[in-house]
Every structure is written in C-alpha cells, then in structure tokens.
C-alpha cells in the first residue's frame, strides 16, 4: 500500500529492537527504506529515562533537508549530549539489552501468574502491557483506552511491566479486594 500511494510513513521503531522472543522482524521493519522515517531511541531501548536521545533514520533523499530543518531552529547539540548518544548507541549495537528484556518478561510472568489481571492484550515487545485488572482501574493513576484513542477496551489500562513498584501495588490492591 505504501508503494502504491507513494506515502511517507513515520514509525517509532525502538520497540522493534526489544522483542521478547529474541527474534528480529517486527512488521514495520519491512516498510520500504526509501519511504520510511524511523525514530530509534537508544535510551528507551536501554530504559534510561533521565537522559534522552534518539536517532531519526531517514531516506537518503531527505537527509540533508531534515538535518538543516533540525539545525536551523535548535543548533547543534552539546558535546556531552553527543558523547552520551554515541555511548548509548554503542551499547545498543554491542551489548544489547538482554538482561532488561529478561527482567521485563519475568515481571510479566509474575503479574500474569498472580491472577490480578482479568484480561490482557497480546504483548511481544517493549515494557508496556495493555490489560484489564480485576480491581477497578479508578483505584490507580492509570491511562485507559481514552488516552490511546481506542474503543472497545473498557477497563483496560497501560501497565508498565518494567518497574516492580507498580506491579506490587496492583497485586496488593487485588489481594485486599479479594480478602
């Protein structure tokens, strides 16, 4: 379809580098390179949320125009930011985030096994789960379907399976509700 319409597609491609099964091949990775702009955020990939950087992968024909568009209003980045961005990309390319992905999968397994979820959407990558807890989501500060422009998922919220605190709070609230 993209080739038929000659459309440019913008993709947040970071999570394609975080598959839980270890295999590469997320569907957006097969979009035509010459018509796709892809942002890749090493700090999201590494779950470093204080210091941010991202790379925009663009078709060669748009590279200079987009570089100028960025530099004109913002100027170049500080040397410390550039060094950090290179180190984060090096980590992404060399060591990877296998330990992080295993941690996320283990948290998901524990959350699922605890019985606190009434239902959940399939999850294959990243560190967010869209699920319906057994306790009312109004008990939590949570993002429900309305924040994602979705319909047909009443009671579903986004759950960060990276952090233990939120998972433990959800399990404690469910235990209190059952008890």
pLDDT at 179: 53
What is the per-residue DSSP string for 101-161? HHHHHHHHHHHHHTT-EEEE----BSSEEEEEESS-GGGS---BGGGGT--S-TT-EEEES
Q: Are residues 39 and 68 in the same domain?
A: yes
What is the domain range of residue 22? Answer: 2-93
Q: Are residues 53 and 83 in the same domain?
A: yes
Q: Are residues 128 and 64 in the same domain?
A: no
pLDDT at 27: 77
The C-alpha atoms of residue 119 and residue 156 are separated, in whole angstroms, by: 8
* pLDDT tens-place string over residues 65-105: 888 887 777 777 788 888 888 888 888 888 888 888 899 99
For the domain that residue 152 is a member of, what is the CATH number?
A: 3.90.1150.10
Q: Are residues 10 and 73 in the same domain?
A: yes
Share of the chain above pLDDT 70, in %: 97
Q: Are residues 10 and 88 in the same domain?
A: yes
Q: Are residues 78 and 141 in the same domain?
A: no
Last residue of a domain, one of 56, 73, 93: 93
């Amino acid at each position: 379809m993209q080739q038929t319409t000659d459309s440019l597609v913008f993709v947040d491609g970071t999570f394609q580098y975080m598959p839980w099964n270890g295999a590469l091949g997320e569907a957006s990775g097969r979009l035509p390179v010459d018509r796709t702009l892809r942002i890749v955020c090493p700090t999201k990939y590494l779950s470093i949320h204080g210091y941010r950087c991202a790379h925009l992968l663009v078709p060669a024909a748009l590279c200079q125009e987009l570089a100028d568009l960025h530099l004109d209003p913002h100027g170049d980045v500080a040397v410390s930011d550039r060094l950090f961005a290179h180190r984060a990309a090096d980590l992404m390319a060399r060591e990877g985030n296998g330990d992080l992905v295993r941690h996320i999968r283990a948290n998901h397994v524990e959350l699922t096994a605890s019985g606190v979820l009434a239902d959940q959407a399939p999850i294959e990558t990243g560190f967010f789960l869209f699920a319906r807890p057994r306790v009312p989501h109004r008990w939590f500060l949570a993002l429900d379907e309305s924040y994602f422009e979705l319909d047909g998922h009443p009671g579903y919220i986004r759950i960060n399976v990276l952090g233990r605190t939120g998972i433990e709070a959800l399990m404690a609230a469910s235990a209190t509700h059952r008890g």
